[in-house]
Amino acid sequence: MLARKLTTFFLDILEVVVFAIAIFLFTYLLVMQPHKIKGDSMQPNFPDGEYLLTDKITYKVRKPQRGEVIVFIAPGTDDEEFIKRIIGLPGEKVKVEGGRVYLNGKILDESYLSRSVITSSGSFLKEGQEILVSDDNYLVFGDSRSASSDSRIWGYVNLKKITGKAWLIYWPPQSAGLVEKVIYSFNYGSAH
């Protein structure tokens, strides 16, 4: 009798554990995934060592939008994931000139960057050279432009390589909260 009760008790515990593992794997593989910010490329908005959850469903329903912080498999790496901000969308003309980013001939006002941030060009996106972002591709930059390896150097990120959208910061506790949505404005003036 005691052996039967113990067996039932352990089977009940095993059932709960298996169910919990199944929920965890479903969530981790299909819905959300934790990521740790490594390095200074997204400073000061996403400091080194900060943890966030990425939403893996949004881009199955709609296309990525400018300003969203994404996780993706970086070109030329062995499946290494990077975290950057979307700047250029498919069909847009992008240029870096005089430390500023131009989209379709207008200066992009990036209010989330410090006024002292200068956007330099790179081996892919050369100073003053306008490029057209091709279909299903995106240009992504780090928020700390001088510390970021991004699209200015290695080019486009294809939609198929995007693995998630930054959704929630959960560590450290004083930074916890939803990732803020960015609103852009455009200036028609020249860069000085």
**Catalytic positions, written as ranges:** 41, 84
Structure tokens at 101: 């980013």
- How many Cα atoms occupy the beta-carbon half-sphere of 157 within 13 Å? 32
Contact partners, residue 144, CB within 8 Å, separation at least 6: 40, 41, 42, 43, 44, 117
Coil, strand or helix at 131 = strand
Structure tokens at 50: 């900060």
How long a stretch of residues is the chain?
A: 192
Cis? peptide before 44, omega within 30° of 0: yes
φ and ψ at 13, to 5 degrees?
-65, -45
> How big, in percent rounded to 5, are the helix, strand and coil portions of the chain?
25, 30, 45
Give the whole-angstrom CA distance, residue 126 versus residue 180.
30
Give the whole-angstrom CA distance, residue 80 versus residue 72.
8
